[in-house]
Amino acid sequence: MILVTGATGTIGSHVARLLTERGVPFRAMSRRRRPGGVRADFDDPASLARAVADVDAVFLVTVPPVPSAEHDIALIAAARAAGVRRIVKLSAIGSGERFEGTTVGAWHVAAEEAIEASGLGWTMLRPPSFASNLLWHRALIRAGEPVPNLAGDSRQAVVDPRDVAAVAVAALTDGAHEGRRYDLTGPTPLTFADQVAILGGVLGRRIGIADVDGLDRLPAGVATGVRWARSGAAAYVTDHVPRVLGRPAGTFERWARDHREAFTAPG
């Protein structure tokens, strides 16, 4: 039995879909009551204990309101008490790098360290920006408004969230990935303007960009990672997706073509 946390989110929903397609038994965790799912909250230890009962492996996605490892640590405690054997954690590229006197992704690093110290089997997934982040701006794009660019001219090999989920499923179901950290990049470093131009090509119209300099509205721990990526440090490609999946990583253009309707349909 696999517990999929973040099962209503970007990566977790694809993990749940892939496990369903493969007939692997799993429990989808959400704070909301959903058919076939388990209702639990990282801030409610009793609900976590119910969620991990009789579970072998956990896909761990945390998005705490304040960047901290508290949610990961709560899940680790529940998992150890329940005899869970393996945790696959969704972390982020660059976590642990030193930049401008601080640590990039410090909360992910603290969580990774807690998992390593737990004695459980683990795999860490460290993707760069998801191709799907452009969906955050779909209302602006539908309205013909410019989309905000926090990345300046920096490049990242943005990854298709379906590839991140496919690697997660491999790591959840096959012990060969234990003890590994995967930097799950896409095939090509792209600027934000490149991504917007590719999406514009798919939609058949130009999409404007509004450059954002100040990162004041981001939580401090998140802003460090954005500044680090903005410095160009995240502009690299790895072969980790092809190595695990035995096929090339998906391109941004393919993701954009597959999600064309999300940017054109009303609503």
Ligand X SMILES: NC(=O)c1ccc[n+]([C@@H]2O[C@H](COP(=O)([O-])OP(=O)(O)OC[C@H]3O[C@@H](n4cnc5c(N)ncnc54)[C@H](OP(=O)(O)O)[C@@H]3O)[C@@H](O)[C@H]2O)c1
- Residue 228 within binding range of ligand X, rule CB under 6 A: no
Per DSSP, 204 falls in state T
Task: Report 18-57 residues binding ligand X (CB under 6 A).
Answer: 30-32, 41-43
Residue 159 per-residue DSSP state? B
Q: Tokens 């440090």 identify what position?
A: 233
- Report whether 193 contacts 146 (CB < 8 A): no
Nearest residue to the partner ligand X, using Cβ: 9
Nearer to ligand X, 66 or 205 (CB): 66
Residues 79-138 that bind ligand X (CB under 6 A): 90, 92, 127, 129-130, 133
Between 16 and 57, CB nearer to ligand X: 16
Asked if residues 89 and 180 have their Cβ atoms less than 8 Å apart, the reply is: no
Closest approach of Cβ 204 to ligand X, in Å?
A: 26
DSSP 26: E
Structural tokens at position 96: 């642990």
62 binds ligand X (CB under 6 A): yes
Give how far the C-alpha of residue 182 lies from the chain's centroid of Cα atoms, to the nearest Å: 12
Nearest to 190 by CA among 229, 248, 145, 147: 229
- Tell the smallest beta-carbon distance from residue 103 to ligand X (Å): 14
Q: What are phi and psi of 193, to 5 degrees?
A: -65, -40
Say whether residue 9 binds ligand X (CB under 6 A).
yes
Assess 63 for contact with ligand X (CB under 6 A).
yes
Interaction site with ligand X (CB under 6 A): 6-12, 30-32, 41-43, 61-63, 90, 92, 127, 129-130, 133
